[in-house]
């Protein structure tokens, strides 16, 4: 004779269902950020002027696509539907006042823009890592699906690795870019100072040629 369901059985089933629903919501939120990150990484890959940065971005772009798929797989496995949300979250990029933003964009050199965007890269990676850490802690407290937790841990590890690389290398790259820019400015100033002298020399040569 089948055992009659007791109150504890109902509580367990209800708790498990609630944990899955929270997991799906968290996974969907993470996926929305990774969807937005894909667009930014593709844009950065086209615009970056530093070879080693481009290589790292290319590598992380591939990782992010794998993270996307990992999240989609877990959403599907928990019953979140065959087509997980393709919405894009808003990445935590600093947004200066409109007037200041226009001034930065119109007056900045490509080297200065690279420094600025590399800083934004780091901010995004650290924010994503915080999001994953918080999600993992919440799911552990809920005793949620272990495969989902492991998927988030793998994503976290990749975000932290890229963030660590940026934090270590951004200052060196920024110094290198700014040094080149200062040298270029000095060369331009020197060239401008020399131009009048060169023009005078040409005039003297022209007069000398006429006299002779």
pLDDT at residue number 105: 77
pLDDT in tens, 101-121: 788 778 889 999 999 999 999
DSSP 82: S
User: For all residues of the chain together, what is the average pLDDT?
Assistant: 85
* pLDDT average, residue stretch 13-31: 83
Which stretch, 16-30, 93-107, 110-124, has highest mean pLDDT? Answer: 110-124
The predicted pLDDT at position 183 comes to: 86
Domain locations along the chain = 7-211
Distance CA 149, CA 152 (A): 5
Query: Residue-wise over 43-59: b if at least 16 C-beta within 10 A, else e?
Result: ebeeebebeebeebbee
Determine the CATH number of domain 7-211: 1.20.1260.10
Residues 126-144 as b or e (16 or more Cβ within 10 Å = b): bbbbebbeebbeebeebeb
């Amino acid at each position: 004779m089948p055992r009659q369901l007791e109150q504890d059985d109902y509580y367990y089933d209800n708790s498990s269902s609630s944990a899955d629903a929270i997991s799906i919501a968290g996974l969907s939120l993470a996926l929305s950020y990774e969807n937005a990150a894909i667009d930014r990484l593709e844009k950065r890959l086209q615009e970056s002027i530093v070879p080693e940065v481009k290589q790292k971005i290319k590598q992380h772009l591939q990782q992010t696509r794998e993270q996307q798929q990992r999240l989609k797989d877990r959403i599907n496995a928990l019953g979140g539907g065959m087509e997980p949300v393709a919405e894009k979250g808003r990445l935590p990029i600093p947004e200066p006042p409109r007037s200041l933003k226009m001034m930065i964009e119109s007056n900045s050199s490509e080297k200065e823009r690279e420094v600025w965007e590399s800083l934004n890269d780091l901010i995004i990676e650290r924010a994503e890592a915080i999001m994953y850490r918080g999600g993992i802690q919440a799911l552990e407290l809920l005793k949620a699906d272990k495969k989902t937790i492991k998927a988030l841990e793998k994503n976290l590890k990749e975000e932290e690795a890229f963030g660590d690389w940026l934090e270590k290398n951004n200052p060196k790259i920024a110094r290198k870019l700014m040094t080149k820019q200062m040298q270029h400015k000095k060369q331009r100033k020197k060239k401008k100072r020399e131009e009048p002298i060169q023009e005078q020399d040409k005039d003297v040569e022209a007069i000398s040629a006429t006299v002779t």
